[in-house]
Chains A and B, each alone.
Chain A
Amino acid sequence: MIEHALSALGMLLEPARLAALFVGMLVGMTVGMLPGLGGVAAVSMLLPFVYLLDQYAGLAMLLGATAVVYTSDTITSVLVGAPGSPASAPTAIEGHALAKEGHAARALSVGFIASMVGGVIGAIVLTLAIPVAGPIVLALGTAELFMFACVGLYYASSLMGGNVVRGVLVACFGLGVGTIGPAPAAAEFRFTFGQAYLLDGISLTIVALGLFGVAEVLSMLAEGGGISRARVVLTDWGAGAREAWRSRWLILRGALIGVLGGFVPAVGASASTWVAYAHAVRTTRDKSRFGKGEIRGIAAAEGANNATVIADLVPTMLFSVPGGPAAAIFMGALFAFGHYPGPRFVSENPDLMYLIIWSAAIASVLGAIICFAVTPWLARLTQIRFALVAAPLMLVMIVGAYQATNSIGDIALLLLLGLVGWMMKRGGWPRAPALVGFVLAKPMEQYFWLANQLFGWKWLLRPGVLIIGALILVPVAIQLVRWARRRAAGRPAAGVAASDAESATTARGRRAEGRVSTALSAGMLAMFVYALIEVLGFLREARALPMFAIVPGVALAAIALARDVWAGHWRPDRAGPAAAGERSVVRDELVQFLVLVAYAVGIWAIGFYAATPAYLAWVLIARARMRVRNGVLYGAVLIGAIYALVVLLRSPLPRGALFG
C-alpha cells in the first residue's frame, strides 16, 4: 500500500503533471468564485484539454479543479452573499452576515480551513475506504436511503427560524418545487404545464441562485455604497484560525457527514452541507447567532461540502455509479482513458487510485493557501461601488443558469425564483428551508416508493431503518422532555433564529416589509391552492409526496396571510411623506427587478449580445453614474470576459427569437 502511495506521489510530482494539477486548481478556483458555476462547470470546461494529456496528468487536472471549487466559493459567499455554488448557501447566510459586521476575515479563514480539512478528510477516507467501502455502500438499501432523507428533513427543522409558520411553509414550498417534473414511481409528469422544459424538473443551481443570488445582487444594485457597511477589515486572520481550532471537532464531524453524503450515490454536496449546517445548529448551545453570522455554521458546512465531492469518488470508482454530477464527468474521462471503474479497476490500478487521492489532498491544501493569499486583493472589490461588482455578477448568474438546459426557460425561472427569494428576504422569511426541502424532495419520494414496491410496509422493520429512525426519535424525545420541564419551570424556550432576514430599522421600513410579506403569503396561498386542485387528478403514487407538502402548505399559507392582514400592513400609510428609509429600498429593489425582467425579455427577443449592452448602460451609466467613456470601456471588458467564459464552457448564449 505504502509503496503504491509513494510511487503515485512520485508520478504526480513530475513537472508536467504538477502543472496540470495547478491549471486545474486555477480553473476550479475561478469557477468556484463565480456564482452559479460549480464543480460541473469547472470539470466540463477542462474536459477537452484533459484528452490532450496523459491519463495521470489529465486526471490530476480534473481533481485539482473539483477539490478547490468548494474552497473558493467561500469567498463569493462571504463577500457578496450570493452562494458561489449551490452547496455553499449556508456559508452565504452566515458568512455574509459576519462580513457586514466587519468580520469577513474571520468568516473566510474558518471557511478556508474547514474546506481544507474537509478535502483532506475526504482524501484520507478515500484511501481507507476503498477496501471496505463496498459493503458499506451495499448496506445502504433503498429503505435506509429513505430514512437518511428523513434525517435530513428532521435536521432541516432546525433551520426554521423563530417564526415556525413561515419556516415550515417555506420548507413545504421547497418540497413542492422539488416535485415538479417526472414522478419517480408513476408514469406521470407533474406541474409541467405542457412545457418540455419542465419534464426533467428544475435544476438545483437555478433554485439556489434564484433564492439567494438574485436577491443579493438586487440589493447591491439598489443600494449605494460598498458591500460592508464598515470597511472590510482583513486583519483578524489569527482570530479566524483560533476560531477554527475551537470548532475543530465540529469541522471534523461536518467532514464525516460530508463523506457519508458522498458514499450515497446521487446525494450531492448540497444535501450533506445542509445536514452538517443543521448539525451545527443542534450542537450549539446559544443558537441566537444563527442566521445573523454564526461562525460554527460556516465551519460545519464548509467541512462537509469539500468532503462530499471527494467522497463522491467512492461509489464512482467502486461501482461505476457516480456520486454526484462532477463525478459523472470524471467517470466519463476515466472511460475515455480506457478505464472502467469497478472493483477490478481499484485493485488493478493502485497507482492511479493513489494519484487521484494525492491530487485531491494536495489540491485541497494548496487551494486553501492560495485562497488565503488572494483574498486581501478580492476584498478590495467590496470597497468599490456596488453596481460595478453587481453587473458582472448578474451576467455570470445568467450564464450559469443557462448552463442547465441552454434554453430561455432557465433565465425565466431564475428570475421567477429570484422574485420569490427577494420577497422572502425583504418580507423577513427564512430562505434556507426552501432549499433543503427542494434538495430532499426527490430522494425522499423516490426511495419511499422503491422501498414500498420492493418490501411492502415490511421495510419499516429492517434493522438499518430502525437504527436510523432512532437517530431521529431519540433527540425528538429528549427535546420534548426538556421542553415539558422548561414549561413546568415557567422558563421561555431558547429561540432558534436561523432566519437570514434582515429586519428593517424604521417603522416605515417595517411597513414596507409587511406589505412584501403579505403579498408573499397571498402568492403562496394561491400557489398551494392551485397545486391542490391539480394534484387531485394525479395517480396515487404521484400524489403522495406533493400532498405531504401541499396540505400543510395551504393551511400554513392561510395562517401566514391572516397574520399579515391582521397586522394591517396593507393599510395606506398615515405617517406622512416618506423620509429616505427602508421603504425606498424596497421600491428601488423592485425597480431593479423590473429592469432585470426587461433585460430577460430583451435576451429572449434580440439575443444576449444585443440586450446586454443596454442593460449594462442602465446599470453602469444611468445608475452607478460612471462616466460614459469609462462605462463603455468597462462594459466592453465585461462582455469580452463573458464571451471568453462562454467559449470555455463550449456553450452558446441565447440568440434573439424575434430579431438577431
Chain B
Amino acid sequence: MSHAQMLRTRRRALGAATVAAFAAVAAQPLTASAQYFAGKEIEVVVPFAEGGATDVGAKFLAPFLEKHIAGNPRMRIKTRPGGGSILGANWFEANAKPDGLTILFTTSSTSHPYILGRKEVKYDLAKKRVAYSMAFGPVLYTSPATGVKSVKDLKSPSTQLVYGGIAAAASDLPVLLSFEVLKLDVKAVLGFTGRGPVRLAFERGETNFDSQFTPVFLTQVVPLVESGKAIPLYSGGSLDDNGRMTQRDHVMKDLPSVYEAHKILHGSDPSGPAWDAFQTSAALTFTYGLTAFLHEDTPQAIVDEFNQAVDRINQDAAFHAEAKKVTGGYPLTSGAKAEKPLRAALKPPAPVLAYMKELLASKYNVKF
C-alpha cells in the first residue's frame, strides 16, 4: 500500500468513525470492520455481456455501495459472459474466497438451470450467502387488437393471444407459469434473442401479449400506452411477510398482481402446484431478480457489513432519486431479509419441481 493510499484510507476510516459517532450508532463494531474493507477492492462478477441489463444494474449500484460500505472499498465490475451465465457462475464457484471480496451478481438465468439440475451447473447457489438483492418486476400488457381492456377480458379475447419469449426454461418461466395459474390460452412463440426484439415484434403486431421489466416498461412501453397502442394488464406482484406473492408490485402499484388477477378471473385465491411453481419462479426472477451472492463460508461479520450498507443505502435520498430513473424505484433488499426466502425458492419442494419439469417437458418440449 502506497503512502498516499494509506493516508486516504486513514482519512476515510477517520471520516467513517466521525460519522458513526455523530449518527450515534457507535455501539456497533464499525471501526473493526471499517479496517477490513478499507483500501480493498471488491470484484463484482457479472456473468453476462457488457452493456446488458445486469451490467447496467451492477454499475448503477456500485457508487452507492462504495459510499455506504464501511471502509469505502472500490467496486470493480467484471463481465464474464458465456453459457447463458453458467460459465461466469462456475468461475465464481471455482475462484471465490470466503473474504467478501468477490461477488456474483446475477439473475434467474443462473438460478433456473440450478433448480432444474442442468448438468453443466457446477455451483451450489442455495448454499451461498446473500450480500444484497434488488427486485425486478414485470408488467404484462396487450395490444388493443385483442379486444382485451383489462384483466377480466383475458377470459375471452377476440383473437388468439400470442406471447413472444426467449426460452421456456429461463427468464420466461414465471410469465409462462402465470398463464397456467390464470388458466389463459396463450400461444407462446419462443426463440427471440432478447426482450428488446420481442418488444419490436409486439410493435409490429406479430405478437399481441408481452411482458417487459418495469424500467423498460416505463421508458419504452408507456409511450405506446399513451398513444393507445398498448394496454397494461397485470404485474408479477411481490412477497408478503409469509413469503407468498400476494402483494402488488412495489413500483406498479396501480396494476393488479397475478394473485389479484386470479381473484378477478376466477373469484378465488390461487392454489395448487401451478401457483406454488409460479411463486418459486417469480421469487427467483422478480422479487430477487438481481442478487449479489458471496462464498458460502463468508464470515457473518462481513455479511453484516453488507446488511448495514443496504440499510444505509435505503436511507440515502440520492439512491432513491437515481433508482427511480434506473429501476423504476425498487429499494435494495439486504441479505438478512432475502437469504431465507431465496434459499427456499432455490430448493423447491419435490412436487413443485416435478410440476415445473412436467410442464416444461410436455408443453415446451424441454428435455431433462
- Chain A residues in the interface with B (C-beta under 8 A): 40, 44, 47, 137-139, 141-142, 182, 184-188, 192, 194-200, 265-266, 319-322, 325, 328-333, 335-336, 338, 340, 342-344, 404-407, 446, 449-450, 453-454, 539, 541, 650-651
Contacts and interface: CB of A to CB of B under 8 A. Distances in A.
A310 to B, nearest CB: 17
A271 to B, nearest CB: 14
A454 B206 contact: yes
A199 B83 contact: yes
A406 B80 contact: yes
B191 A185 contact: yes
A322 to B, nearest CB: 7
Interface stretch (B193-201, B312-320, B340-348): B193-201
Contacts, number: 144
A244 B91 CA distance: 50
B43 to A, nearest CB: 10
A185 B56 contact: no
Given A319-B196, A320-B196, A197 B206 contact: no
Nearest to A199: B83
B87 A405 contact: yes
Contacts of B51: 322, 325, 328-333
Given A194-B120, A200-B87, 5 more contacts: A187-B364, A196-B122, A328-B51, A453-B191, A539-B367
B84 A200 contact: yes
Contact of B56 (A138, A319, A332, A453): A332
Given A141-B206, A406-B80, A650-B78, A187 B189 contact: no
B157 interface: no
Contact of A450 (B82, B84, B192): B192
Contact of B193 (A342, A343, A446): A446
A141 to B, nearest CB: 5
| Chain B interface residue bracket vs A | 35 or more
A47 B50 contact: yes
Contacts of A139: 204
A335 B326 contact: yes
Contacts of B49: 325, 328
Contacts of B323: none
Contact of A182 (B76, B82, B84, B215): B84
A343 B365 CA distance: 38
A83 B220 CA distance: 38
A342 B219 contact: yes
A335 B56 contact: yes
Contacts of B302: none
Contacts of A199: 82-84, 86-87, 120
Contacts of B120: 192, 194-196, 199
B84 A137 contact: no
Interface of B: 49-52, 55-56, 59-60, 76, 78, 80-84, 86-87, 90-91, 119-122, 162, 167-169, 189-194, 196-197, 199-201, 203-204, 206-207, 215-216, 219-220, 223, 325-326, 360, 364-367
A319 B189 contact: no
Most buried by A among B121, B167, B168, B196: B196
A342 B119 contact: no
A188 B367 contact: yes
18 contacts: A44-B50, A141-B206, A187-B168, A194-B119, A194-B120, A195-B120, A200-B83, A320-B220, A321-B200, A325-B49, A331-B51, A332-B52, A332-B55, A332-B59, A340-B215, A446-B192, A454-B189, A541-B365
Contact of B201 (A142, A195, A338): A142
Contact of B223 (A138, A194, A344): A344
B58 to A, nearest CB: 11
Nearest to B80: A406
Contact of A650 (B76, B84, B220, B325): B76
Contacts of A651: 78
Contacts of B81: 200, 405
Given A200-B82, A320-B220, A187 B326 contact: no
The 4 closest A-B pairs by CB, nearest first: A332-B51, A405-B82, A321-B196, A340-B219
B247 to A, nearest CB: 27
Contact of B191 (A44, A184, A197, A330): A184
Given A142-B206, A187-B169, A335-B326, A197 B83 contact: yes
B166 to A, nearest CB: 9
A187 B55 contact: no
Nearest to B206: A454
Contacts of A450: 189, 191-192, 201
A446 B191 contact: yes
Given A328-B51, A407-B91, A650-B78, A187 B199 contact: no
A381 B50 CA distance: 34
A186 B56 contact: no
B365 A186 contact: yes
A454 B219 CA distance: 27
A570 B162 CA distance: 59
A265 B162 CA distance: 22
A195 B193 CA distance: 21
Contact of A320 (B50, B219, B325, B365): B219
Nearest to A321: B196
A319 B59 contact: no
Contacts of A142: 201, 206
Contacts of B364: 187
A197 B189 contact: no
Contacts of A322: 51, 196
B220 A319 contact: yes
B50 A332 contact: yes
Given A196-B120, A321-B199, A328-B52, A187 B367 contact: yes
Nearest to B166: A184
Contacts of A344: 219, 223
A44 B83 CA distance: 21
Contact of A407 (B82, B219, B223, B365): B82
A335 to B, nearest CB: 5
A336 B53 CA distance: 11
Contact of B200 (A319, A404, A406): A319
Contacts of B196: 265, 319-322
Given A319-B196, A340-B220, A342-B219, A405 B56 contact: no
B200 A265 contact: yes
A331 B201 CA distance: 20
